[in-house]
Amino acid sequence: MMFPQLKIAALVSVGRNPASGAPRAARNDVLALDAALALAPEVSVLHAGDAAPALHDYLAYGAASVEVLPLPAGADALAPLAARVAGYDLILCGQRAEAGQGSGTLPYRLAKALNMPVVSAALEITLLGDIVEIVQFLPKGQRRVVRVSLPAVIALHPLAPRAPRYVYARLRAGRLLSAPALVAAPLPVSPWQSEPAVKKPQKLKPPETRQGHARLLGAIATESKGGALVREGSAAEKARAILDYLRTNRLIEF
C-alpha cells in the first residue's frame, strides 16, 4: 500500500566493494531506499557528504534524485541530517555502513537527536495508519514483530527480503541535487587512529603459564583440526567422528 501523504526519507551513504574497495551504493542503504519506495511514491533520498559518482547508483536503484548535503571531510553527518529530516514521518537507513567507521550507531544518534523511536534489524515494514509495524531479524530463523508510532527511525537488516533492481535508464534520468547546508557540522576530534588492516587481530588470551613441552603439545592439539580424513572403521564410528568434530568445535551443544 502506498502512503503518499507521508514524508519519508531514505539516508544513503557511499559504500565500498569488499574485494576492490571501489565506491558503490551501500547494499544496506539500497535496501532502505527500496523499502522506502515501496511505501511512498516520493521519497527524499539524502546523502551527507560529497557528490560522489557512486551516488548515481542510487538513481539506478530508483531514487528520482539524491539530495547531497555538503559536509566537510571527516565531519559528523548527524547535525545536517537531523536538521534536514526534522518533521519527517519515517526515516529509513541501512543498519551499518560499508565504508567509513560502519559502527551502526547513526540511526540511534539520529533518533535521539529527533526524539524518535528507533528500530534496527528491520526486514519488513508495514504502515498501519500512524503506526509502523516492523518485522525484525533474530538469528536462527526467529522473527520479532514490533510496532512503534510515527515518526520513527528504522534501520534495515542486510537480509531484508527485497530485490532492488539496478536500472540504467533511471540512472540516466535522475539527478544529484546539492542542497544548502542548514547547519554547520562540527569537526570532531577523532580518538581513533586507523591503519591498513594487514595483520590479523590478536585474540585476548590468559598469560601463558605452561612450560616448553606442554606448550608444544597445546599448539599441536589446537592446530590438528583441519583436513582430517577418516577412512577406517564402521559406519557408527564414522558417525561418531562427525559428532565429535561438531562437539569439539562447539557447533552442537550435546
- Of 185-244, binders to another protein (CB under 8 A) are 191-197, 199, 201-206, 209, 217-218, 221-222, 224-244
Site for another protein in 38-67 (CB under 8 A): 60
Give CA–CA dist 133/47, Å, rounded. Answer: 26
Residue 252 DSSP SS3: coil
- Binding piece for another protein, criterion CB under 8 A, among 35-43, 45-53, 68-76, 119-127: 119-127
CB of 64 to another protein, least distance (A): 16
In terms of CB distance, is 51 or 241 closer to another protein? 241
Contacts of residues 192-201 at CB distance under 8 Å and 24 or more positions apart, as own/partner, are 192/101
Nearer Cβ to another protein (99/179): 99
Distance of CA 59 to the CA centre of its chain: 20
Cα separation, 167 vs 64, whole angstroms: 12
Q: In the numeric block, which cell numbers belong to residue 36?
A: 522506502
Contact window for another protein (CB under 8 A) among 14-22, 42-50, 66-74, 84-92: 14-22
Instruction: Specify the residue, 145 or 178, whose C-beta has the smaller distance to another protein.
Output: 145
| Separation of alpha carbons 170 and 127, rounded Å | 27
**Residue bearing cell 551443544:** 253
Q: How many residues bind another protein (CB under 8 A)?
A: 98
Q: Build a one-symbol-per-residue string for 144-183: x at contacts with another protein by CB under 8 A, - elsewhere.
A: xxxxxx---------x-----xxxxx--x-----------
For another protein, which residue of 92, 121, 125, 185 counts as binding (CB under 8 A)? 121
| Nearest residue (CB) to another protein, 4 versus 221 | 221
- Mask for 87-106, x = binds another protein (CB under 8 A): -----------xxxxxxxx-
Q: Does 130 bind another protein (CB under 8 A)?
A: no
Of residues 53, 69, 9, 55, the one with CA closest to residue 33? 9
CB 90 within 8 A of CB 152: yes
Q: Which CB sits closer to another protein, 168 or 180?
A: 168
**Minimum distance of another protein from residue 52's CB (angstroms):** 14
Output the nine-digit C-alpha cell for 161.
Answer: 527480503
Cell of 160: 531484508
For 144, residues 6+ apart whose C-beta sits below 8 A from its C-beta are 135, 136, 138
What backbone torsions phi and psi does residue 239 show, to the nearest 5 degrees?
-60, -40
Nearer to another protein, 3 or 245 (CB): 245
**Shortest CB 42 distance to another protein, Å:** 20
Distance of CA 7 to the CA centre of its chain: 23
| Alpha carbons 80 and 93: distance in angstroms, whole number | 15
Contact residue for another protein among 38, 133, 162, 181 (CB under 8 A) = 133
